[in-house]
Structure 1
């Protein structure tokens, strides 16, 4: 069986991915854990824990070499840490190739899947593609300040293809389950439901149309990238894939969430103003996932957030108690 290491395996996306890989029966899954408590959680899920963190990477880098890990997935969503992960993996990947060369054998490169996000496209109602350049002067739009660093990191990942097999996967705005990223927008609605407020203000834009994806569909998209990585590497295929399953009105999302939470007050969208996180959350992304479907064989199963908001809002509410 292939061996994969998930960095961020105890997180929202990383855990869903690790479980997807395990369910296939084709992988031994390792997960990076910062402490013994998180390691115990991974063990209970049948994920092999590796205690350590990115800043103290000796433990997991040693594992990559000793266990001959095939693919590493960065699902942590960090900034400086992701740069360090990439630099560390480039060194390990180079060492693997040098050892093989000295032994006179050929060996596959170490695989690396980086989890980015469609916010790199910036906000626009125009259709965008994962083939378009992002974060450069001639890009149609620029990414929000919160993730302005990400296009450069994506390019650094792609530029490591001499020693690593690399893929960049860009999920849309993720929902489902705990969905902590929605807390800033959902919390005022829940408070209004409890207080009986007649009006509730939310830091959202009236015309926002985010590109959305359920966390389980993110997991299967990343899973597909892991499986197809050896097949697309070195073929000339541009290894960057947007994952979006629907584009919906933020206004309708929040109104339907308020109703599901029992909030009877009027929802007023106050605008994202100068709140960097709110600006990113309100990015309008009209992106096609056609290449992910065609080249990775990915098919989303949970399409439409508003359609099942009664389920998704309540799942989020349970985590707030």
Structure 2
């Protein structure tokens, strides 16, 4: 007898978890952890005077290293066909991943705004370019993101209690309720779309200001092309990595609520949703590039420390 198509879809989901999620999460951890660790250890050791950009990038590195540190556990579970049975690990893991997702884009907005203000006030005489204000803005960002995550914790705890701790569902499977869909859509708007719009607005503002400066100070404007490229790359990175995930997360939740969809269609949607999940964390691998592109002084000091350490090792 021919095999049921639903069995094929179920097998596809299992294959994606073992042979796609497992190795990709492991790779993201391997690449992302090292880059973020260099910044977390290197900034305090190399930079005696921190500027506002350093504050934002350091917080971004902390967010990234927390995110990638949650991936090995997921990779191990998928590789061994296991479910997370610890309620604490289940909730904490989801919390860390999504705090990173939405704090990263906000910190990159702050970095982009900082680049724009620096272009407008090269002497750093604007209050928003001071490290003290940068620390305050970073604290407010963490508070905002944690407020955004409060409903997620509620849904995760409720789902964990409902399954008696035997299952640890992903975001889109925490509850088959319209409330979860409303929360997911609201989080998509407030946590993703609005910050992304802000990133593109910063790109437009920097572009406009560079054009004005080119008319009067051609050489000086050319030196500010790097901030524009970095802001553009950041904006398109979050568009490329976050958009598929957010679309499929909401489609996945909706597919479990509306009638008329076959089980095969629902599982196919889940399969596509699974494909987009590692994409949402891939920025943690790329973010370290921004740390070195935007802080030339740190890059120079880090290389100097590295060469100094290598000479010490050779002499010993």
| TM-score, with structure 1 as normaliser | 0.29
Question: Greater helix percent: which structure?
Answer: 2
Say which structure, 1 or 2, has more relative contact order (CA 8 Å, 6+ apart).
2
| TM-score, with structure 2 as normaliser | 0.29
